[in-house]
Amino acid sequence: MAKPSLTFVCQSCAARYSKWSGRCDECGEWNSIEEEKPLSSGPGKKSLAARGRTVTLSDLSSKEAPPPRTASALGELDRVLGGGLVPASAVLVGGDPGIGKSTLLLQAASAFARAGLKVIYISGEEASAQVRLRAARLGLEQSPVKLAADTNLRDILTTLDAERPDLAIVDSIQTMWSDTVDSAPGSVSQVRAAAHELTRLAKERGSAVIMVGHVTKDGQIAGPRVVEHMVDTVLYFEGERGHQFRILRSVKNRFGPADEIGVFEMTGSGLSEVTNPSALFLSERGTPAPGSVVFSGIEGTRPVLVEFQALVAPSPHSQPRRSVVGWDGSRLAMILAVLESRCGIPFAGLDVYLNVAGGMKISEPAADLAVAAALLSAREDVALPPETVVFGEISLSGALRPVGQTENRLKEARKLGFSTAILAKGGKTGSGDGMSLSKLEDLTAFVGEHFGAG
């Protein structure tokens, strides 16, 4: 079959079409479909079969020292970056509008400048005066940071090329505008061009680049997915409105662990670091109530205690509600199904609400047992014994599986004054740190031990 001479590719999700359309059917992105010509087509282009130059090959072993990182005074930011800023790296920071990205990056700019780096902050969203006002509010107006307010990519690249900063911060990638691409700023092709040029600048000139990326309604960084592939590190700045906690989470990091978190608190004078997140997430906790269970989780490299809260109530609807904040909805459905079919505890006709306190998002399967405990405790209206933490994974058979880093989880719980842990049999508990451990084989045993016959 002859190949179609034209291919149209969505720049956002890489879906292929034989004709152009305004909206991608696959990912729903508007104006992201562009014609893609094969490499060898066009006048003056050689076919790939023609000989090119030979690429230099080298060994895997190297005598070069690992890249020197620069640590800022913001320890939580350094942790998420994997121990400081790597020279010539490209970092993308995404987050909802108003969550505090510009605030974080201005503080980071100042911290890195004080650590001796030459830092340029380019704002495409706010006028210089506005950025200066924020700097004054943060008490950072004396920091040796150079500031520009511009959106023309060509001018910005020329300036960065001449100035050779150690770190350039671009706020935001969606406002950048390149005259080589004829579509509006913020469009997929503009964002891709800006990200590509800035990443290339980072690699060629050795300046680290931090870019801000807006997120779409469903929480993804807006624009083409390829931007996330281009950069070395992707961070998300998250938080609930109405809560002062902000979590900086690494979802990709070529120079450090992914899934690391840094915790901040938004105050009247900027973001302050939270070095003991467990204490913060549990700070609003009162006396143990039915439906409330403390989970000892691991976020990145450190243990964090959070509280799961469940509410189970008779439903007035024919289709009972299942509402989750901070955890995965399909995982909740799985646990309800296991409770129902393995332990004989029905949730039909009952509305179920599950919430992680403090605006934290948990994705570990290790939280399964804590969720099941919260659901049972809410349903039976029985509180778990005070000072108890719960963790363990639940399999579809109802068996409990031990989870990694059991010792660290217990240690953190001990540190925060917990005395009992409910967990799966078989994990490496070490000395248990003086905690009383209730090790269980399956969910039925858990129900029998803590909720009578269920």
Q: Which positions lie near Mg ion, rule CB under 5 A?
A: 102
Distance CA 262, CA 310 (A): 26
Beta 400-401 vs 393-394: how paired, if at all? antiparallel
Exposure b/e, 315-339, CB count within 10 A at least 16 = b: eeeeebebebebbeeebbebbbebb
Q: Which does 262 bind (CB under 5 to 8 A by kind): ligand TYD, Mg ion, none?
A: none
Question: Considering the rule CB under 6 A, would residue 235 count as an interface residue with ligand TYD?
Answer: no
Residue 213 touches ligand TYD, criterion: CB under 6 A: no
Considering the rule CB under 6 A, would residue 268 count as an interface residue with ligand TYD?
yes
Q: Which does 444 bind (CB under 5 to 8 A by kind): ligand TYD, Mg ion, none?
A: none
Q: How far is the CB of 260 from ligand TYD (least distance, A)?
A: 20
The least distance separating Mg ion from the CB of residue 212, rounded to whole angstroms, comes to 7
Contact with ligand TYD (CB under 6 A) among 128, 269, 283, 323: 269
DSSP letters, 325-337, are ESS-HHHHHHHHH
Q: How far is the CB of 209 from Mg ion (least distance, A)?
A: 17
Asked if 331 is part of the footprint of ligand TYD (rule: CB under 6 A), the reply reads no
Q: Is 132 exposed, middle or buried (0-12, 13-18, 19+ CB in 10 A)?
A: middle
Contact segment (CB under 6 A) with ligand TYD among 131-139, 252-260, 281-289, 292-300 equals 131-139
Q: Torsion-angle region of residue 433: left (phi > 0), alpha (psi -120 to 50) or beta?
A: left
- With contacts defined by CB under 6 A, how many residues of the chain interact with ligand TYD? 15
Cα(161)–Cα(204) distance, integer angstroms: 10
Residue 134's binding partner among ligand TYD, Mg ion, none (Cβ under 5 to 8 angstroms by kind) is: ligand TYD
- Contact window for ligand TYD (CB under 6 A) among 31-39, 133-141, 184-192, 372-380: 133-141
Question: Of 12, 72, 89, 103, which lies in the binding site for ligand TYD, with binding defined by CB under 6 A?
Answer: 103
Binding span for ligand TYD by CB under 6 A among 99-107, 312-320, 407-415, 444-452: 99-107
Asked whether the beta carbons of 230 and 212 are under 8 A apart, the reply is no
| Residue 100 or 398 with smaller CB distance to ligand TYD | 100
Identify the residue among 112, 113, 134, 277 touching ligand TYD (CB under 6 A): 134
**402/152 Cα distance (integer angstroms):** 54
Min dist CB 176 to ligand TYD, Å, is: 15
Helices and strands in the chain: count of H runs, count of E runs: 11, 21
Cα–Cα distances (Å) from 291 to 264, 371, 378, in that order, read 28, 9, 4
Strand partners, 303: 298
Options 79, 101, 342, 361; binder of ligand TYD; rule CB under 6 A: 101
CB contact at 8 A, 391 and 435:
no
- Is-contact 12 29, C-beta < 8 A? yes
Q: Which does 221 bind (CB under 5 to 8 A by kind): Mg ion, ligand TYD, none?
A: none
Q: Does residue 102 belong to the site contacting ligand TYD (CB under 6 A)?
A: yes
Which residues sit at the interface with ligand TYD, rule CB under 6 A? 95, 97-103, 134, 137-138, 266, 268-270
